[in-house]
Amino acid sequence: MFNVHDALPKSVYSIATQVFTRAGSYLGVAAKPFRHTKMQDMGRWGTTDIFLVTGRGGAAGARGGNQGMKLRPVHHGVRVPFAVQGSPTELTLLTAYGSIRFCFAETGLLLIRGENDLHLRLEADLDLHRIIRKREGQSWELGQSASCCLVYTPVVGTLELTAPFDMDKLSTPQVRGEVFPDETGTFLFAVEEFRELGYVRPRYPDYEEGLRSAEADWQSFLARFPALPDLPADARERAVYQTWSMLTKPSGRAKHTQIWRDFGHVTDAFQSCLCAAALGCDLPLAAELLLGQLDEQAPSGQIPVFFDDMRGLTQTVVPPAQGWALEQLMRTHDLKAELPAETLGALYDGLSKWADWYDAYRSVDGLPRYESGEESGLEDSPVFRAQPCAALPDLSAFLALLEEKLGDLAGMLGRDAQPWYARSRARIARMIAAFWNGKRFVGYAADGAVIDTESLLFYRPLILGDRLPPEIVAAMAEDLSEGNGYLTPAGFLSQRFTSPEYDPLRPGAGRIVAAENLLVTLGLLRAGEPAAAKEAARRWCGALLQGVSPVWPAERGFPNAVTAAAFHLLSTLPDN
């Protein structure tokens, strides 16, 4: 039994910032703090409510449409406080009367088991057109907005539920129920998620069977990731869990595996490239993340910002980082030997059209440009303060890498690689001639005005590594060294500290951003500055693992898959 004086067992993740789920699942268990609960206290005795949540369709719209039933432990008719303990495969509510445990027996099937005469109370307040319907036996089916449905079934024990229909509201506006244990004092309750209308199974797995399945899946995934000898033992497990738990299965519009940045919100194409690079330990999965971006590519060649199982964003773009991701994968894999020819062909055909799209639709005088801050990935950067449209050197660098990697893919497929290599070299030469002012890179607004805001965006061209002249690398490395306003004990700032535009509250104007640290740090490594790269990586990864900040009271760690992806790569930098 657990009481308020007991120390809470260590969890792999924070229930304050992460959802308990399983790789491939669109269903999860989340928490909401009670009023005045601090984020860093969530999960301690009597601090949170627990509820089911679906990630379909970008969290299924407004007004809490992603939320399913609220779940509350009850003993002898009285709600009891609980604490939350989480492992990768099992979530436990610890009470003074015993525990209620959760595991995902399958990707869309959640099992909940209670002991010692504990009950589980179910509560939901539904809005217009949302109805819970009786199904066979004691099962009920609840539609989650327009995104999916959940089927609730007592496997051991009984479910008593009331949900009167209200014609005026066209819904069953108030759902109240309780799962009761059997004569042994235990219950087993199943919640299954369906994209379409659901059904009741003739048989459900028992809890131990489901937990074994989840554990085998988790251990198989964890084993693919290298050890982290210079970091705390649990850091690897925490980061890998965040990556594993954010993977989805193909469904609806998504024909390949995708990865969420956080539960219910799929990564955009730029972030997906970062995650693919970090998943080099699982090459087929990394290739899936890149191929998935092409599922809804426009005939013109444009790749959508993102799309999930139900919706997408096609009215803008994000940086073309696919070549950068392929370069990271090619450093540790022979793609021709390890990937099917059809995969290589699909990547080549789709990414060729994507590279051509920039020259056809987004280039002026041979220089590609962003047409809004959002297209850069740092929309609130001072770079875009005067005008949203800007030609910046990092866009040329991304495209040059993409063209070079298209040349590599062409060679693997027996096609002519030289035109791509020549195109890449020419783009790098144009980038240097246009943007390097002798001391640092600058940009140009649409009206021709020079943009020089001391943003870390101007150090992204380091992704080109040793393709840059040594004098440019040396100047950039010096700028990024200790005491020059970018490098801090926690990594690189997105804006020089001494800049008049520096703002510590804005990601693009002064915060420490995972993606920017990843690109610049690996760029230093590839450009021949391994000591600087290792030190920057050590600082960023170390800061990520620190405890709660007294000034910014939020849980540290891995709140999204992009942060975990950056950690995977930076925590395993080679020595040379």
Least Cα distance to 192 among 263, 70, 106, 259 occurs for 106
Token pair, residue 397, equals: 């660098």
- Say how many domains are in the chain: 2
* DSSP label at residue 7: P
- pLDDT band for 32, please (50, 70, 90 cuts): confident
DSSP one-letter string for 98-134: EEEEEEEEETTEEEEEE-TTEEEEEEEE--TT--EEE
Strand 118-125 to strand 174-180: parallel, antiparallel, or no bridges (unpaired)? antiparallel
Largest distance between two CA atoms of the chain: 81
pTM of the predicted structure, to 2 decimals = 0.93
53/125 same-domain check: yes
* DSSP label at residue 436: B
Q: Quick one: pLDDT at residue 450?
A: 95
Asked if 73 and 95 count as a contact pair (C-beta separation under 8 A), the reply is yes
Token pair, residue 424, equals: 């890449």
Query: Does the structure show a pLDDT above 90 at 14?
Result: no
For the segment 524-540, the average pLDDT, to the nearest whole number, is 95
For the segment 28-36, the average pLDDT, to the nearest whole number, is 85
Q: Quick one: pLDDT at residue 402?
A: 98
Q: Quick one: pLDDT at residue 175?
A: 82
Q: What is the pLDDT of residues 253-285, one digit of tens each?
A: 999 999 999 898 899 999 999 999 999 999 999
Asked if 222 and 547 count as a contact pair (C-beta separation under 8 A), the reply is no
- pLDDT band for 47, please (50, 70, 90 cuts): confident
314/282 same-domain check: yes
User: Quick one: how many helices (H) and strands (E) in the chain?
Assistant: 14, 26
110/128 same-domain check: yes
Counting other chains too, the contacts that 127-133 makes at CB distance below 8 Å and 24 or more residues apart are: 127/63, 127/169, 127/171, 127/173, 128/169, 128/170, 128/171, 129/170, 129/171, 130/171, 130/172, 131/165, 131/171, 131/172, 132/161, 132/163, 132/172, 132/175
**Which CATH number do you get for residue 394?**
1.50.10.10
- pLDDT band for 59, please (50, 70, 90 cuts): very low
Residues 6+ apart with CB under 8 A from 238: 12, 13, 557, 558
SS3 label, residue 297: coil
Q: What is the pLDDT of residues 128-173, one digit of tens each?
A: 777 788 999 999 988 876 678 899 999 999 999 988 888 877 877 7
238/204 same-domain check: no
Question: Hunting for tokens 């594993």 — which residue is that?
Answer: 244
Distance CA 378, CA 506 (A): 10
- pLDDT band for 22, please (50, 70, 90 cuts): very high
- pLDDT band for 223, please (50, 70, 90 cuts): very high
207/319 same-domain check: no
Strand 491-492 to strand 78-79: parallel, antiparallel, or no bridges (unpaired)? unpaired
Q: Quick one: pLDDT at residue 282?
A: 95
Token pair, residue 35, equals: 């009023």
Query: Does the structure show a pLDDT above 80 at 8?
Result: no
pLDDT cut 90: percent of the chain above it: 73
Domain end call among 173, 189, 217: 217
Distance CA 447, CA 13 (A): 48
Q: Sign of dihedral through CA atoms 499, 504, 506, 508?
A: positive
442/498 same-domain check: yes
477/520 same-domain check: yes
Q: What is the pLDDT of residues 466-507, one digit of tens each?
A: 999 999 999 999 999 999 999 999 999 999 999 999 998 899
Identify the residue with better confidence: 310 or 246.
246
DSSP one-letter string for 15-61: TTT--B--TB-SEEEEEEEPTT--GGGTTSTT-EEEEEEE-HHHHHS
88/138 same-domain check: yes
SS3 label, residue 251: strand
Distance CA 493, CA 212 (A): 44
Q: Quick one: pLDDT at residue 244?
A: 96
Identify the residue with better confidence: 163 or 219.
219
Question: Hunting for tokens 């959002």 — which residue is that?
Answer: 374
For the segment 289-315, the average pLDDT, to the nearest whole number, is 93
Q: Quick one: pLDDT at residue 232?
A: 81
Which of 322-331, 370-379, 524-533, 556-565 comes out lowest in average pLDDT? 556-565
Q: What is the pLDDT of residues 419-462, one digit of tens each?
A: 999 999 999 999 999 999 999 999 999 999 999 999 999 999 99
20 - beta bridge partners?
A: 29
Distance CA 322, CA 304 (A): 13
183/310 same-domain check: no
DSSP one-letter string for 139-185: -EEEEETTTEEEEEEEEESEEEEE---BTTTTB--EEEEEEE--TTS
Query: Does the structure show a pLDDT above 60 at 61?
Result: no
228/196 same-domain check: no
Query: Does 38 fall in a domain?
Result: yes
For the segment 284-306, the average pLDDT, to the nearest whole number, is 96
Domain end call among 197, 217, 237: 217
Q: Quick one: pLDDT at residue 234?
A: 85
Query: Does 22 fall in a domain?
Result: no
Q: Sign of dihedral through CA atoms 551, 555, 561, 564?
A: positive
- Mean pLDDT, the chain, rounded, equals 91
Query: Does 17 fall in a domain?
Result: no
What is the domain extent for residue 309? 224-570
Q: How many CB atoms lie within 10 A of CB 155?
A: 19
Length of the chain: 576
- pLDDT band for 349, please (50, 70, 90 cuts): very high
42/127 same-domain check: yes
For the segment 309-326, the average pLDDT, to the nearest whole number, is 93
Which of 85-89, 115-119, 200-204, 385-389 comes out lowest in average pLDDT? 385-389
Question: Hunting for tokens 């005026």 — which residue is that?
Answer: 168
- pLDDT band for 36, please (50, 70, 90 cuts): confident
**Which CATH number do you get for residue 116?**
2.70.98
For the segment 212-230, the average pLDDT, to the nearest whole number, is 93
344/207 same-domain check: no
Asked if 310 and 147 count as a contact pair (C-beta separation under 8 A), the reply is yes
Domain end call among 185, 217, 249: 217
SS3 label, residue 215: helix
